């Protein structure tokens, strides 16, 4: 039995993003690959807004090791999408986010997914590093 779609109240941090004409596919709705792009943008904005990531100079980076999405309802240009984020798991060098995309002002998620980052040394990108302290603080604040 499939779990019902999440609601806005289930998520803790939000960012509104615009759809683009090119997001629609031949079937007249947003192509599934665009959902992943919005998830990626949502996580990047969370990191930037909380001072975790400096795109040019951070000594560490989070590499995506797993992602997934469940689709509940279609979205299409010119919809506005509100992305919701909550941390699911904090590890020693990794974090898993749960994410949702809400169409316009709807309360029920049109899509929900997860996204796991493992943090590594930027130069080597093979040696894991501890989860950045700024990220741990920002994520823990959303858990309470």
DSSP string, 50-94: TT---TTT-SEEEEEEEEEEEE-S---TT-EEEEEEEEEEE-SSE
pLDDT of residue 55: 87
pLDDT of residue 3: 85
Over the stretch 58-81, which tens digit does the pLDDT of each residue have? 999 999 999 999 999 999 999 999
Neighbours of 95 (CB within 10 A): 24
In eight-state DSSP terms, residue 64 is E
Residue with tokens 């995309």: 101
Spatial separation of the C-alpha atoms in residues 51 and 139, rounded to whole Å: 12
CATH class of 8-143: alpha beta
In eight-state DSSP terms, residue 113 is E
Tokens for 19, please give them: 């759809």
pTM of the model: 0.94
pLDDT of residue 12: 95
* CA neighbours closer than 13 Å in the CB half-sphere of residue 66: 9
pLDDT of residue 122: 92
Smallest Cα–Cα separation from 137: which of 37, 52, 28, 10? Answer: 52
pLDDT of residue 144: 65
Q: Write out the chain's pLDDT in tens, 144 residues.
A: 788 999 999 999 999 999 999 999 999 999 999 999 999 999 999 999 999 988 899 999 999 999 999 999 999 999 999 999 999 999 999 999 999 999 999 999 999 999 999 999 999 888 999 999 999 999 999 986
């Amino acid at each position: 039995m499939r779990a019902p779609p999440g609601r806005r109240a289930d998520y803790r941090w939000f960012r509104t993003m615009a759809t683009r004409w090119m997001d629609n596919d031949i079937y007249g709705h947003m192509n599934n690959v665009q959902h992943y792009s919005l998830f990626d943008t949502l996580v990047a904005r969370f990191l930037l807004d909380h001072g975790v990531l400096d795109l040019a100079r951070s000594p560490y980076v989070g590499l995506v090791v797993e992602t997934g999405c469940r689709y509940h309802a279609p979205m299409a240009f010119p919809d506005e999408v509100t992305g919701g984020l909550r941390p699911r798991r904090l590890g020693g060098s990794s974090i898993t986010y749960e994410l949702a995309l809400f169409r316009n002002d709807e309360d029920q998620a049109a899509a929900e997914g997860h996204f796991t980052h493992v943090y590594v040394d930027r130069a080597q990108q093979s040696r894991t590093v501890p989860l950045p302290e700024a990220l741990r603080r920002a994520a823990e604040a959303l858990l309470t």
